[in-house]
């Protein structure tokens, strides 16, 4: 069921950008093109609902946040209104994809370090 909620949230994000584009461009075909480009430019990799938060992993968090937080504030308000009967979330967490990849690399390095420590502990007192 959580996967269905994640898909619903992702589609609602798309609807948000469509409504924003439609405010500036009354022609729906052009508005869809603008909204599609806006969503594609964000580089969203994952949208997930967990622990009363919506987590969005994106390559370009600045575009999602907007000037002085205007875009993320409007998106949060939009999602709270549209998803009121489905989920109750506190806020949206934005994670930059490059930072996430760096964290995975760091965990990998730590894993190697743990293997080294275990290997070292199995040696006798002479280091053999």
Q: Tens digits of per-residue pLDDT, 57-86?
A: 998 999 999 999 999 999 999 999 999 888
**Beta bridge partners of residue 72, listed in sequence order:** none
User: Smallest Cα–Cα separation from 38: which of 55, 22, 26, 54?
Assistant: 22
Share the mean pLDDT of the chain. 82
pLDDT at 111 over 80: no
- State both tokens at 49: 């609902």
pTM greater than 0.85 (yes/no)? no
pLDDT at 30 over 80: yes
With the CA atoms of 66, 70, 76 and 82 taken in that order, what torsion angle do they form, in degrees rounded to the nearest 10? -110
Domains recognised in the chain with CATH numbers: 2-96 (3.30.300)
Q: Indicate the pLDDT class of residue 116, thresholds 50, 70 and 90.
A: very low
Q: Indicate the pLDDT class of residue 102, thresholds 50, 70 and 90.
A: low
Residue 84 half-sphere exposure, CB side, CA atoms within 13 Å? 5
| Residue 68, pLDDT score | 93
| Residue 32, pLDDT score | 94
The C-alpha atoms of residue 36 and residue 27 are separated, in whole angstroms, by 14
User: Smallest Cα–Cα separation from 21: which of 35, 42, 11?
Assistant: 35
Mean pLDDT value across residues 91-119: 61
H helices within 25-124, ranges in order?
28-42, 61-65, 70-82, 97-121
């Amino acid at each position: 069921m959580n996967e269905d909620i994640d898909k619903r949230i992702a589609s609602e994000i798309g609807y948000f950008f469509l409504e924003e584009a439609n405010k500036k461009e009354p022609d729906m075909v052009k508005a869809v093109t603008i909204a599609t480009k806006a969503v594609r430019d964000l580089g969203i990799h994952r949208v997930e609902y967990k622990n009363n938060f919506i987590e969005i992993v994106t390559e370009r968090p600045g575009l999602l946040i907007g000037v002085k937080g205007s875009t993320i504030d409007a998106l949060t308000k939009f999602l709270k209104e549209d998803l009121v009967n489905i989920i109750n979330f506190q806020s949206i967490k934005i994670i930059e994809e490059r930072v996430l990849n760096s964290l995975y690399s760091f965990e990998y390095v730590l894993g190697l370090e743990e293997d080294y420590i275990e290997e070292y502990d199995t040696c006798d007192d002479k280091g053999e």
